[in-house]
Every structure is written in C-alpha cells, then in structure tokens.
Amino acid sequence: MTSSPTPTLVQALQWTGTALHVLDQRKLPETITYDSYSDAPGIADAISSMRVRGAPAIGIAAAYGVALSAQQHYQASSTTWREHIAADIDTLAASRPTAVNLFWALDLMRQALADATDDPRMTLQALAIKIHSDDLAANQCMGELGADLLVGAKGVLTHCNAGALATGGYGTALGVIRSAWKRGLKNIYAGETRPWLQGARLTVWELAQEGIASTLIADSAAAWLMRSGAIDWIVVGADRIAVNGDSANKIGTYSLAVLAKQHGVKVMVVAPTSTIDWTIANGDAIEIEQRHAGELLPACYHHAESLVSAWNPVFDVTPVALIDAIVTERGVILNPSAHGVSSLRA
Ligand code: MRU
C-alpha cells in the first residue's frame, strides 16, 4: 500500500494506493465515517456534495481522482485511455468553482499526463501524493510564520474551517492557531459559519481532538466580541487570492474584515501559494459559488409554489485594503499589494 502522508490527528483524506478514503464532513461531529472512492466521478461527487471541502483538500482529492482515473482506464493495448482520463479531469474541474487549488492541482496532473509517454499510473500517483505532502509541509511552515505575528495577542477569531479537515493536514488559519496555541495563545474564538456551520461542526471539534479549548460564537456576535477587546486578530484561510491580494473566502469573511477595521482588529489571511490565481488582477474576476437554496431554507419552503426563496452565495471577496497580512509558505506579506504578492511567484 502506498499511503498518503500522516499529518495531524484528524485526516480528511487517506490514500490506500487503490482508493481514496474520504472523511464525510457532512456528518461531523456526531459521526466519523470514511467513504471509499475508486474512480474520479465518485471523487467529483464527494467534492460537490461537500463530503470533502476546503480549498487545498479539494485540490488534493481531485489529484488522487486523476490517479484513480489512470488506474481505471490505462491499458497498454488501447489508444483511448488518454481521452477517458481527460474527460475525468473535466468532470473533477466542474465539481466546485471558487477554490483555485482545484484547478491548480488538475493543471499539474494534466501536464504530467501530457508528459507521460507510456503508462502514466505510477507518475500520476506519485504526483498526487506529492501535492498532498507538499500541502502539509506548507501548512506547518505557515503555522510558524503566522504564529510569529500573534506573539502577545490576547485572542483570535477564526471563520469557517481552515484546519486539517480542509487541507493535507495541520491547516492554514487553524495551523497558525495551532502553532500559536503551542506557544501559549489562550483565547481562540470560532464563528459558527452559517449556513453550513463549518465553525460549529468542524473547527471547534477539530481543535478539541487535540485538547485545544475554543469558544464558539454566533456569527452575529462578532462585532460585539471585537468591541469587548477580547481579540486582536482575525485569522482566516482563502479559496482564491488575486494578484493584488483581494481574497475570496467563506461567506462572512468580508463582513468580519469590515468590522475589524472599525474596531482596530487585524486581519490575517493564511494560504499556500497554490491558492494564488496568477491569472487575475483583482477579486472582481473570482467566480463566487452559489449553492442550493435548500441549504438555507427551512423545509416548509422547499416546494415549487413557495413565496420564500433564498440567495446563497457561499464565498465573498475581502478587498486587500482590509487585509493586514497574507501568510504563505514562501513568506509573509504585510500590508499586501500587487507588488508584495508578485514577489511570492516562483
Ligand atoms: O465551502 P467550504 O467549506 O469548502 O469553504 C472553505 C473555506 O472557505 C475555507 O476557509 C478555505 O477553503 C480555506 S481552507 C484551508
């Protein structure tokens, strides 16, 4: 068995060599159950149904999906296997629109496929495992860099889940909070993150798995928390960062950043460079996923004649002017701008 890296206690994804085991995050925290996938369409469904979620984890799962596609379709005697794998890549790319890590990982896999002159199976598997382990290493590095900024902080607020569950392990925003907690940070607040409750169901649970205490707040309590003086920083992940530093993240992040400005609280965005979209100048070009109204509406409104509908954008874009620091594995950009972000380009 060629296994995926062993990161922290909580693992969203486990690679066996012939299947991807996906922790079903829709059922947390009540039930811990892994579903096994052995083909790419299954993984695309796991992504779109949010069994696996979080920008880096989506990219990693998709990379394993391409490796599985090669295992399913490659035949030395056939000439059509490349087309089958290419079709699976397209299916994976259509699973969710906002997190650029998905397209970044698929581009790497597509390129490796194009470079393979014959049997691509070992190459694609090795690349998927590398994408996974590189993400874990990036998170551990960002954890230390971000924790340096939190020295002396009274408290922090995070939003959504940007933890081990959302990544290859350790987490981005939650990685920084983990590292800061090891250095003595005490007051960790998590917003519940309506409507899907990533904060209430995932973040506080993930922290508790490692003995880290946290305090859950209703999203609507954030301004009052800031007003109380309990926090100095908001620490969040990102799904896509434009070249000027505008950052898309879970819906509600923009609201927090606006509130932070009013209260003198700083905003830290933590994301690997795989989250930077080098093709877009600013956040206006980021496609914001709209999810089904049924995720928001009470069941009594789920019928065709209902007078009540719902608007359910699941990401928003925080303008760079509201961001104090972008932390990546290649370094920290304070008061980010296009110049600073461009300096991170390999
Ligand atoms: O809809 P989700 O749960 O996939 O949204 C996840 C987020 O918005 C995270 O904050 C982001 O992907 C960063 S994860 C390290």
Backbone angles phi, psi at 184, to 5 degrees: 115, 0
Question: Which ligand 1 atom is nearest residue 174's CA?
Answer: 15
| pLDDT score at 6 | 55
| pLDDT score at 160 | 98
Give distance in angstroms: CA of 331 to centre of ligand 1.
21
pLDDT digits (tens, 9 = 90+) for 228-252: 999 999 999 999 999 999 999 999 9
| pLDDT score at 227 | 98
Angle at 288 between CA 266 and CA 279, to 5 degrees: 80
pLDDT digits (tens, 9 = 90+) for 280-293: 999 999 999 999 99
With a 6 A CB cut-off, is 166 part of the ligand 1 pocket?
yes
- Work out the average pLDDT over 319-325: 98
- Above 90 in pLDDT, residue 176? yes
Residue 7 banded pLDDT, cuts 50, 70, 90 = low
Q: Which of 92, 162, 160, 91 is nearest to 314 (CA)?
A: 160
Give distance in angstroms: CA of 53 to centre of ligand 1.
6
Q: Which of 98, 165, 192, 198 to mutate to test the pocket of ligand 1 (most atoms within 8 A of CB)?
A: 198
Inter-residue contact 299 to 224 (CB < 8 Å): no
With a 6 A CB cut-off, is 55 part of the ligand 1 pocket?
yes
Residue 2 banded pLDDT, cuts 50, 70, 90 = low
Residue 96 banded pLDDT, cuts 50, 70, 90 = very high
Backbone angles phi, psi at 14, to 5 degrees: -130, 120
Considering the domain 142-344 in this protein, what is its CATH number?
Answer: 3.40.50.10470
With a 6 A CB cut-off, is 139 part of the ligand 1 pocket?
no
Give distance in angstroms: CA of 265 to centre of ligand 1.
22
- Above 80 in pLDDT, residue 1? no
Residue 31 banded pLDDT, cuts 50, 70, 90 = very high
With a 6 A CB cut-off, is 51 part of the ligand 1 pocket?
no
CA-to-CA distance for 7 and 171, rounded, in angstroms?
A: 10
Q: Which of 49, 249, 276, 277 to mutate to test the pocket of ligand 1 (most atoms within 8 A of CB)?
A: 249
Give distance in angstroms: CA of 89 to centre of ligand 1.
21
With a 6 A CB cut-off, is 249 part of the ligand 1 pocket?
yes
Give distance in angstroms: CA of 287 to centre of ligand 1.
14
pLDDT digits (tens, 9 = 90+) for 251-264: 999 999 999 999 99
| pLDDT score at 78 | 87
- Above 60 in pLDDT, residue 320? yes
In the structure encoding, which two tokens stand for residue 274, read together?
Answer: 């795989």
Catalytic residue among 232, 239, 316, 324: 239
Give distance in angstroms: CA of 174 to centre of ligand 1.
12
| pLDDT score at 346 | 83
pLDDT digits (tens, 9 = 90+) for 151-165: 999 999 999 999 999
- Above 80 in pLDDT, residue 9? no
Check for a shared fold between 13-137 and 142-344: no
Give distance in angstroms: CA of 248 to centre of ligand 1.
9
With a 6 A CB cut-off, is 274 part of the ligand 1 pocket?
no
| pLDDT score at 76 | 87
Question: Which ligand 1 atom is nearest residue 99's CA?
Answer: 12
Angle at 8 between CA 253 and CA 199, to 5 degrees: 25
Question: Which ligand 1 atom is nearest residue 171's CA?
Answer: 15
With a 6 A CB cut-off, is 56 part of the ligand 1 pocket?
yes
| pLDDT score at 193 | 98
With a 6 A CB cut-off, is 8 part of the ligand 1 pocket?
no
Does residue 134 carry a catalytic annotation?
no
Question: Which ligand 1 atom is nearest residue 314's CA?
Answer: 1
- Work out the average pLDDT over 95-100: 98
Q: Which CATH architecture has domain 13-137?
A: Up-down Bundle (1.20)
Higher pLDDT, 78 or 247: 247
pLDDT digits (tens, 9 = 90+) for 111-136: 999 999 899 999 999 999 999 999 99
Q: Which of 250, 269, 270 to mutate to test the pocket of ligand 1 (most atoms within 8 A of CB)?
A: 250
Q: Which residues, at least 6 apart from 78, have a Cβ–Cβ distance to it below 8 Å?
A: none
Instruction: Please report, for the chain, the start and end positions of each structural domain, with discontinuous segments joined by +.
Output: 13-137, 142-344
Residue nearest to atom 15 of ligand 1 (CA): 162
